Amino acid sequence: MVHHPISACKRIPNLTQIFLIGFYEEREFALYVSSISNELKVPVRYLREDKPHGSAGGLYNFRDQIMEDNPSHIVLLNCDVCCSFPLPEMLEAHKKYGGMGTILVIKVSAESASQFGELVADPVTNELLHYTEKPETFVSDRINCGVYIFTTDIFNAVEGVSTQWKDRADLRRLSSFESLHSATRNAPTHFVRLDQDILSPLAGKKQLYTYETLDFWEQIKTPGMSLKCSGLYLAQFRFTNPHLLVSGDGTKSASITGDVYVHPSAKVHPSAKIGPNVSISANARIGPGARLISCIILDNVEIKENAVVIHSIVGWKSSIGRWSRATGDYNSKLGITILGEAVTVEDEVVVINSIVLPHKTLNVSVQEEIIL
Protein backbone atom coordinates (compact mmCIF):
# COMPACT_ATOMS: atom_id res chain seq x y z
CA MET A 1 0.00 0.00 0.00
CA VAL A 2 2.92 2.35 0.69
CA HIS A 3 5.29 1.08 -1.98
CA HIS A 4 3.27 2.06 -5.06
CA PRO A 5 2.85 5.76 -4.22
CA ILE A 6 6.49 6.01 -3.16
CA SER A 7 7.65 4.39 -6.39
CA ALA A 8 5.47 6.81 -8.35
CA CYS A 9 7.35 9.72 -6.78
CA LYS A 10 10.49 8.61 -8.62
CA ARG A 11 8.97 10.02 -11.82
CA ILE A 12 8.83 13.55 -10.39
CA PRO A 13 11.54 15.74 -11.98
CA ASN A 14 14.25 17.00 -9.60
CA LEU A 15 12.90 15.01 -6.65
CA THR A 16 15.08 15.68 -3.59
CA GLN A 17 13.51 13.75 -0.72
CA ILE A 18 10.54 11.58 0.29
CA PHE A 19 8.92 11.68 3.73
CA LEU A 20 6.57 9.13 5.27
CA ILE A 21 4.42 10.59 8.05
CA GLY A 22 2.57 8.28 10.41
CA PHE A 23 1.96 7.05 13.95
CA TYR A 24 3.86 3.76 13.84
CA GLU A 25 7.10 3.33 15.74
CA GLU A 26 10.20 4.26 13.74
CA ARG A 27 11.65 0.76 14.09
CA GLU A 28 8.72 -0.71 12.15
CA PHE A 29 9.71 1.28 9.08
CA ALA A 30 13.49 1.34 9.50
CA LEU A 31 14.25 -1.65 7.26
CA TYR A 32 11.75 -0.64 4.59
CA VAL A 33 12.93 2.98 4.49
CA SER A 34 16.53 1.84 4.04
CA SER A 35 15.57 -0.61 1.31
CA ILE A 36 13.38 1.78 -0.69
CA SER A 37 15.99 4.56 -0.41
CA ASN A 38 18.57 2.28 -2.03
CA GLU A 39 16.09 1.12 -4.67
CA LEU A 40 14.97 4.60 -5.74
CA LYS A 41 18.32 6.33 -5.14
CA VAL A 42 16.39 9.05 -3.29
CA PRO A 43 16.55 9.76 0.47
CA VAL A 44 13.42 8.44 2.22
CA ARG A 45 12.72 9.36 5.85
CA TYR A 46 10.01 8.31 8.27
CA LEU A 47 8.55 11.02 10.53
CA ARG A 48 6.45 9.92 13.50
CA GLU A 49 3.66 12.15 14.77
CA ASP A 50 3.58 12.51 18.55
CA LYS A 51 -0.17 13.23 18.50
CA PRO A 52 -2.91 13.72 15.89
CA HIS A 53 -2.35 16.93 13.95
CA GLY A 54 -4.82 16.41 11.11
CA SER A 55 -4.03 15.89 7.44
CA ALA A 56 -2.76 19.47 7.02
CA GLY A 57 -1.49 19.93 10.56
CA GLY A 58 0.77 16.89 10.22
CA LEU A 59 2.41 18.46 7.19
CA TYR A 60 2.88 21.74 9.06
CA ASN A 61 4.26 19.97 12.13
CA PHE A 62 7.24 18.74 10.09
CA ARG A 63 7.69 21.90 8.01
CA ASP A 64 11.30 22.41 9.11
CA GLN A 65 12.36 18.95 7.93
CA ILE A 66 10.35 19.25 4.71
CA MET A 67 11.90 22.64 3.89
CA GLU A 68 15.51 21.55 4.51
CA ASP A 69 16.28 21.39 0.77
CA ASN A 70 14.23 24.50 -0.08
CA PRO A 71 11.80 22.69 -2.39
CA SER A 72 9.76 24.66 -4.91
CA HIS A 73 6.84 22.24 -4.71
CA ILE A 74 5.48 19.70 -2.24
CA VAL A 75 3.70 16.58 -3.46
CA LEU A 76 1.30 15.13 -0.89
CA LEU A 77 -0.07 11.61 -1.33
CA ASN A 78 -2.48 9.67 0.87
CA CYS A 79 -1.29 6.08 1.09
CA ASP A 80 -4.80 4.63 1.28
CA VAL A 81 -5.52 5.34 -2.38
CA CYS A 82 -4.72 3.27 -5.44
CA CYS A 83 -4.24 5.00 -8.79
CA SER A 84 -1.76 5.55 -11.60
CA PHE A 85 -0.36 8.64 -9.80
CA PRO A 86 0.18 10.86 -12.88
CA LEU A 87 2.55 13.10 -10.92
CA PRO A 88 4.75 14.55 -13.73
CA GLU A 89 1.70 15.50 -15.78
CA MET A 90 -0.03 16.91 -12.72
CA LEU A 91 3.06 18.98 -11.80
CA GLU A 92 3.23 20.42 -15.30
CA ALA A 93 -0.44 21.44 -15.11
CA HIS A 94 0.09 22.90 -11.64
CA LYS A 95 2.87 25.16 -12.90
CA LYS A 96 0.65 26.43 -15.72
CA TYR A 97 -2.22 27.16 -13.34
CA GLY A 98 0.00 29.32 -11.14
CA GLY A 99 -2.00 28.64 -7.97
CA MET A 100 -1.02 27.44 -4.52
CA GLY A 101 -2.30 23.90 -5.00
CA THR A 102 -3.59 21.35 -7.49
CA ILE A 103 -5.86 18.43 -6.59
CA LEU A 104 -6.13 15.18 -8.51
CA VAL A 105 -9.81 14.47 -9.25
CA ILE A 106 -11.81 11.76 -10.97
CA LYS A 107 -15.36 11.35 -12.22
CA VAL A 108 -17.41 8.70 -10.38
CA SER A 109 -21.03 7.62 -10.31
CA ALA A 110 -23.48 9.97 -8.63
CA GLU A 111 -24.44 7.16 -6.23
CA SER A 112 -20.91 6.74 -4.85
CA ALA A 113 -19.79 10.38 -4.91
CA SER A 114 -21.16 11.17 -1.44
CA GLN A 115 -18.65 8.77 0.12
CA PHE A 116 -15.83 11.15 -0.79
CA GLY A 117 -14.99 14.83 -0.98
CA GLU A 118 -17.07 16.30 -3.81
CA LEU A 119 -15.96 19.35 -5.75
CA VAL A 120 -16.96 21.74 -8.50
CA ALA A 121 -14.34 23.12 -10.89
CA ASP A 122 -14.45 25.68 -13.67
CA PRO A 123 -14.72 23.68 -16.91
CA VAL A 124 -12.39 26.07 -18.73
CA THR A 125 -9.73 27.10 -16.19
CA ASN A 126 -10.02 24.04 -13.88
CA GLU A 127 -10.10 26.36 -10.87
CA LEU A 128 -11.63 24.78 -7.76
CA LEU A 129 -14.87 26.67 -7.15
CA HIS A 130 -16.49 24.64 -4.39
CA TYR A 131 -15.45 21.78 -2.12
CA THR A 132 -17.42 19.81 0.46
CA GLU A 133 -16.42 16.66 2.33
CA LYS A 134 -18.91 13.75 2.12
CA PRO A 135 -22.04 15.87 1.62
CA GLU A 136 -25.49 14.59 2.53
CA THR A 137 -26.92 15.84 -0.77
CA PHE A 138 -25.43 15.46 -4.23
CA VAL A 139 -23.03 18.23 -5.25
CA SER A 140 -20.88 16.83 -8.05
CA ASP A 141 -19.68 13.59 -9.62
CA ARG A 142 -16.07 14.83 -9.40
CA ILE A 143 -14.28 13.74 -6.25
CA ASN A 144 -10.99 14.36 -4.48
CA CYS A 145 -8.47 11.55 -5.14
CA GLY A 146 -6.24 12.37 -2.16
CA VAL A 147 -3.26 13.41 -4.31
CA TYR A 148 -2.03 17.02 -4.19
CA ILE A 149 0.74 19.32 -5.38
CA PHE A 150 1.37 22.52 -3.41
CA THR A 151 3.77 25.40 -3.40
CA THR A 152 5.38 26.14 -0.05
CA ASP A 153 2.61 28.70 0.55
CA ILE A 154 0.61 25.78 1.93
CA PHE A 155 2.46 26.25 5.22
CA ASN A 156 1.28 29.86 5.46
CA ALA A 157 -2.29 28.71 4.83
CA VAL A 158 -2.11 26.09 7.59
CA GLU A 159 -0.48 28.54 9.98
CA GLY A 160 -3.24 31.03 9.26
CA VAL A 161 -5.94 28.51 10.22
CA SER A 162 -4.08 27.49 13.37
CA THR A 163 -3.57 31.12 14.42
CA GLN A 164 -7.21 31.93 13.72
CA TRP A 165 -8.36 29.10 15.96
CA LYS A 166 -5.98 30.13 18.71
CA ASP A 167 -7.23 33.71 18.60
CA ARG A 168 -10.82 32.54 18.80
CA ALA A 169 -9.97 30.36 21.80
CA ASP A 170 -8.25 33.27 23.55
CA LEU A 171 -11.17 35.63 22.91
CA ARG A 172 -13.89 33.22 23.87
CA ARG A 173 -15.63 34.26 27.06
CA LEU A 174 -15.51 31.41 29.56
CA SER A 175 -18.06 30.75 32.26
CA SER A 176 -16.77 30.29 35.79
CA PHE A 177 -17.15 26.52 35.41
CA GLU A 178 -15.19 26.54 32.15
CA SER A 179 -12.51 28.74 33.68
CA LEU A 180 -12.07 26.23 36.47
CA HIS A 181 -11.26 23.50 33.98
CA SER A 182 -9.47 25.53 31.29
CA ALA A 183 -6.06 24.77 32.76
CA THR A 184 -6.44 21.10 31.91
CA ARG A 185 -8.04 21.60 28.50
CA ASN A 186 -6.17 22.83 25.45
CA ALA A 187 -7.96 24.09 22.37
CA PRO A 188 -6.94 21.86 19.42
CA THR A 189 -5.25 24.70 17.52
CA HIS A 190 -2.60 22.28 16.23
CA PHE A 191 -5.23 20.11 14.50
CA VAL A 192 -5.87 21.29 10.95
CA ARG A 193 -7.73 19.24 8.34
CA LEU A 194 -6.72 19.66 4.73
CA ASP A 195 -10.18 19.18 3.28
CA GLN A 196 -12.49 21.14 5.61
CA ASP A 197 -10.01 23.74 6.87
CA ILE A 198 -7.92 24.46 3.76
CA LEU A 199 -9.65 23.29 0.57
CA SER A 200 -13.18 24.44 1.39
CA PRO A 201 -12.29 28.01 2.52
CA LEU A 202 -9.86 28.60 -0.37
CA ALA A 203 -12.19 27.31 -3.10
CA GLY A 204 -13.18 30.05 -5.54
CA LYS A 205 -10.25 32.30 -4.60
CA LYS A 206 -7.99 31.42 -7.56
CA GLN A 207 -5.58 29.55 -5.32
CA LEU A 208 -6.60 25.93 -5.93
CA TYR A 209 -7.01 24.03 -9.21
CA THR A 210 -7.87 20.52 -10.34
CA TYR A 211 -6.28 17.91 -12.59
CA GLU A 212 -8.63 15.17 -13.74
CA THR A 213 -7.41 11.61 -14.28
CA LEU A 214 -9.09 9.19 -16.66
CA ASP A 215 -7.17 6.21 -15.26
CA PHE A 216 -8.21 3.88 -12.44
CA TRP A 217 -8.68 5.04 -8.85
CA GLU A 218 -9.80 3.25 -5.70
CA GLN A 219 -9.73 3.96 -1.99
CA ILE A 220 -8.19 1.20 0.13
CA LYS A 221 -10.32 0.85 3.25
CA THR A 222 -10.66 -2.94 3.54
CA PRO A 223 -8.36 -5.95 2.98
CA GLY A 224 -10.58 -6.93 0.07
CA MET A 225 -9.80 -3.62 -1.61
CA SER A 226 -6.08 -4.32 -1.16
CA LEU A 227 -6.49 -7.42 -3.27
CA LYS A 228 -8.54 -5.62 -5.91
CA CYS A 229 -5.99 -2.82 -6.06
CA SER A 230 -3.18 -5.33 -6.44
CA GLY A 231 -4.96 -6.49 -9.58
CA LEU A 232 -5.20 -2.91 -10.87
CA TYR A 233 -1.49 -2.34 -10.35
CA LEU A 234 -0.62 -5.64 -12.04
CA ALA A 235 -2.75 -4.65 -15.03
CA GLN A 236 -0.95 -1.30 -15.13
CA PHE A 237 2.40 -3.13 -15.23
CA ARG A 238 1.52 -4.38 -18.72
CA PHE A 239 2.11 -0.84 -19.98
CA THR A 240 4.52 0.66 -17.44
CA ASN A 241 6.69 -2.25 -16.23
CA PRO A 242 6.01 -5.32 -18.40
CA HIS A 243 9.34 -6.84 -17.30
CA LEU A 244 7.86 -7.32 -13.81
CA LEU A 245 5.18 -9.72 -15.07
CA VAL A 246 6.05 -13.38 -15.57
CA SER A 247 4.92 -15.88 -18.16
CA GLY A 248 5.06 -19.66 -18.45
CA ASP A 249 3.42 -22.59 -20.21
CA GLY A 250 3.85 -25.30 -17.58
CA THR A 251 6.85 -27.02 -19.17
CA LYS A 252 10.03 -25.54 -17.73
CA SER A 253 8.17 -23.04 -15.57
CA ALA A 254 4.75 -22.80 -13.96
CA SER A 255 1.67 -22.24 -16.09
CA ILE A 256 0.81 -18.55 -15.91
CA THR A 257 -2.60 -17.04 -16.69
CA GLY A 258 -3.17 -13.28 -16.77
CA ASP A 259 -1.16 -10.75 -14.77
CA VAL A 260 1.23 -12.35 -12.28
CA TYR A 261 4.21 -10.98 -10.36
CA VAL A 262 6.77 -13.35 -8.84
CA HIS A 263 9.70 -12.04 -6.81
CA PRO A 264 13.04 -13.28 -8.19
CA SER A 265 13.84 -15.07 -4.92
CA ALA A 266 10.55 -17.02 -4.85
CA LYS A 267 10.52 -20.67 -5.94
CA VAL A 268 7.53 -21.87 -7.97
CA HIS A 269 7.25 -25.52 -9.06
CA PRO A 270 6.76 -25.97 -12.84
CA SER A 271 3.58 -27.99 -12.27
CA ALA A 272 1.89 -25.15 -10.34
CA LYS A 273 -0.75 -23.02 -12.06
CA ILE A 274 -0.71 -19.33 -11.20
CA GLY A 275 -3.04 -16.47 -12.07
CA PRO A 276 -4.72 -14.28 -12.86
CA ASN A 277 -4.08 -11.43 -10.39
CA VAL A 278 -1.43 -13.07 -8.24
CA SER A 279 1.50 -11.44 -6.46
CA ILE A 280 4.15 -13.71 -4.92
CA SER A 281 6.67 -12.05 -2.61
CA ALA A 282 10.27 -12.74 -1.61
CA ASN A 283 11.39 -16.25 -0.63
CA ALA A 284 7.93 -17.77 -1.04
CA ARG A 285 7.75 -21.45 -2.05
CA ILE A 286 4.96 -22.74 -4.24
CA GLY A 287 4.76 -26.55 -4.36
CA PRO A 288 3.84 -29.04 -7.10
CA GLY A 289 0.27 -28.84 -8.39
CA ALA A 290 -0.58 -25.73 -6.37
CA ARG A 291 -3.30 -23.46 -7.80
CA LEU A 292 -3.26 -19.73 -7.05
CA ILE A 293 -5.94 -17.29 -8.24
CA SER A 294 -6.44 -13.65 -7.22
CA CYS A 295 -4.25 -13.67 -4.13
CA ILE A 296 -1.31 -12.00 -2.44
CA ILE A 297 1.40 -14.29 -1.10
CA LEU A 298 3.73 -12.43 1.26
CA ASP A 299 7.37 -13.10 2.17
CA ASN A 300 8.54 -16.57 3.23
CA VAL A 301 5.17 -18.26 2.70
CA GLU A 302 5.03 -21.94 1.80
CA ILE A 303 2.17 -23.29 -0.33
CA LYS A 304 2.53 -27.07 -0.33
CA GLU A 305 1.64 -29.54 -3.06
CA ASN A 306 -1.86 -29.43 -4.55
CA ALA A 307 -2.96 -26.62 -2.23
CA VAL A 308 -5.42 -24.03 -3.55
CA VAL A 309 -5.49 -20.31 -2.72
CA ILE A 310 -8.26 -18.11 -4.16
CA HIS A 311 -9.27 -14.54 -3.18
CA SER A 312 -6.96 -14.58 -0.17
CA ILE A 313 -4.03 -12.78 1.42
CA VAL A 314 -1.49 -15.11 3.01
CA GLY A 315 0.69 -13.41 5.64
CA TRP A 316 4.43 -13.60 6.16
CA LYS A 317 5.94 -16.97 7.13
CA SER A 318 2.60 -18.76 6.86
CA SER A 319 2.16 -22.28 5.54
CA ILE A 320 -0.72 -23.95 3.70
CA GLY A 321 -0.59 -27.75 3.81
CA ARG A 322 -1.01 -30.42 1.16
CA TRP A 323 -4.46 -30.56 -0.47
CA SER A 324 -5.62 -27.64 1.69
CA ARG A 325 -7.66 -24.68 0.49
CA ALA A 326 -7.84 -21.02 1.45
CA THR A 327 -10.64 -19.27 -0.41
CA GLY A 328 -12.58 -16.03 -0.01
CA ASP A 329 -15.58 -14.23 -1.44
CA TYR A 330 -15.80 -10.45 -1.79
CA ASN A 331 -19.55 -10.61 -1.17
CA SER A 332 -19.42 -12.68 2.02
CA LYS A 333 -19.79 -11.22 5.51
CA LEU A 334 -16.04 -11.25 6.24
CA GLY A 335 -14.96 -10.91 2.62
CA ILE A 336 -11.74 -12.45 1.41
CA THR A 337 -9.75 -14.89 3.53
CA ILE A 338 -6.81 -13.38 5.40
CA LEU A 339 -4.11 -15.37 7.16
CA GLY A 340 -1.97 -13.33 9.55
CA GLU A 341 1.75 -13.75 10.09
CA ALA A 342 3.07 -17.28 10.76
CA VAL A 343 -0.29 -19.05 10.42
CA THR A 344 -0.15 -22.79 9.77
CA VAL A 345 -2.95 -24.49 7.86
CA GLU A 346 -2.35 -28.22 8.19
CA ASP A 347 -2.88 -30.82 5.45
CA GLU A 348 -6.40 -31.26 4.02
CA VAL A 349 -7.88 -28.29 5.89
CA VAL A 350 -10.28 -25.84 4.22
CA VAL A 351 -10.44 -22.16 5.21
CA ILE A 352 -13.36 -20.24 3.66
CA ASN A 353 -14.16 -16.53 4.06
CA SER A 354 -12.28 -16.32 7.35
CA ILE A 355 -9.78 -14.11 9.13
CA VAL A 356 -7.02 -15.85 11.08
CA LEU A 357 -4.86 -13.84 13.47
CA PRO A 358 -1.07 -14.35 13.59
CA HIS A 359 0.67 -17.45 14.95
CA LYS A 360 -2.37 -19.74 14.82
CA THR A 361 -2.45 -23.37 13.71
CA LEU A 362 -5.57 -24.71 12.00
CA ASN A 363 -6.09 -28.47 12.00
CA VAL A 364 -9.85 -28.35 11.31
CA SER A 365 -11.75 -26.61 8.54
CA VAL A 366 -13.40 -23.22 9.22
CA GLN A 367 -15.91 -21.06 7.39
CA GLU A 368 -17.04 -17.48 8.05
CA GLU A 369 -15.00 -17.31 11.26
CA ILE A 370 -12.53 -14.97 12.93
CA ILE A 371 -9.85 -17.04 14.64
CA LEU A 372 -8.41 -15.05 17.55
Q: What is the pLDDT of residues 185-199, one digit of tens each?
A: 444 557 899 999 999
* Sign of torsion over alpha carbons 342, 335, 308, 265: negative
pLDDT reported for residue 171: 53
Look at residue 184 and tell me whether its pLDDT is greater than 70.
no
Look at residue 163 and tell me whether its pLDDT is greater than 90.
no
pLDDT reported for residue 11: 93
pLDDT reported for residue 166: 62
Residue 368 to residue 366: CA distance in whole angstroms: 7
pLDDT reported for residue 169: 55
Lowest mean pLDDT among 165-169, 270-274, 338-342, 356-360: 165-169
Residue 294 to residue 44: CA distance in whole angstroms: 31
Instruction: List all residues 6 or more positions away from 95 whose beta carbon is below 8 Å from its beta carbon.
Output: none
**Taking residues 129-138, what's their average pLDDT?**
91
Look at residue 70 and tell me whether its pLDDT is greater than 50.
yes
**Taking residues 111-127, what's their average pLDDT?**
94
Lowest mean pLDDT among 157-171, 229-243, 302-316: 157-171
User: Residue 201: how many CB atoms within 10 A of its CB?
Assistant: 15
pLDDT reported for residue 326: 98
Question: What is the C-alpha R_g of the chain?
Answer: 24
**Taking residues 143-165, what's their average pLDDT?**
90
In the structure, what pLDDT confidence band is assigned to residue 330 with cuts at 50, 70 and 90? confident
**Taking residues 67-88, what's their average pLDDT?**
95
Domains of the chain are: 3-219 (3.90.550.10), 223-371 (2.160.10.10)
Q: Which tens digits make up the pLDDT trace of 197-207?
A: 999 999 999 99
Among 208, 211, 210, 212, which Cα is nearest to 99's? 208
pLDDT reported for residue 255: 96
Look at residue 165 and tell me whether its pLDDT is greater than 90.
no
In the structure, what pLDDT confidence band is assigned to residue 46 with cuts at 50, 70 and 90? very high
**Taking residues 171-196, what's their average pLDDT?**
58
Look at residue 176 and tell me whether its pLDDT is greater than 70.
no
pLDDT reported for residue 289: 97
Helix (H) or strand (E) holding 338: strand 337-339
Percentage of the chain beyond pLDDT 90 is 79
pLDDT reported for residue 182: 45
Look at residue 209 and tell me whether its pLDDT is greater than 60.
yes
Give the single-character DSSP code of 277: S
Decide which of 307 and 173 is more confident: 307
Look at residue 183 and tell me whether its pLDDT is greater than 80.
no
Look at residue 178 and tell me whether its pLDDT is greater than 80.
no
- Average pLDDT score, the chain: 91
- Which burial class, exposed, middle or buried, applies to 124 when counting CB atoms under 10 A from its CB (0-12, 13-18, 19+)? exposed
Instruction: List all residues 6 or more positions away from 267 whose beta carbon is below 8 Å from its beta carbon.
Output: 284, 285, 286
Look at residue 170 and tell me whether its pLDDT is greater than 70.
no
Q: Which tens digits make up the pLDDT trace of 260-312?
A: 999 999 999 999 999 999 999 999 999 999 999 999 999 999 999 999 999 99
Decide which of 178 and 4 is more confident: 4
Angle at Cα 100 formed by Cα 18 and Cα 5, nearest 5°? 30
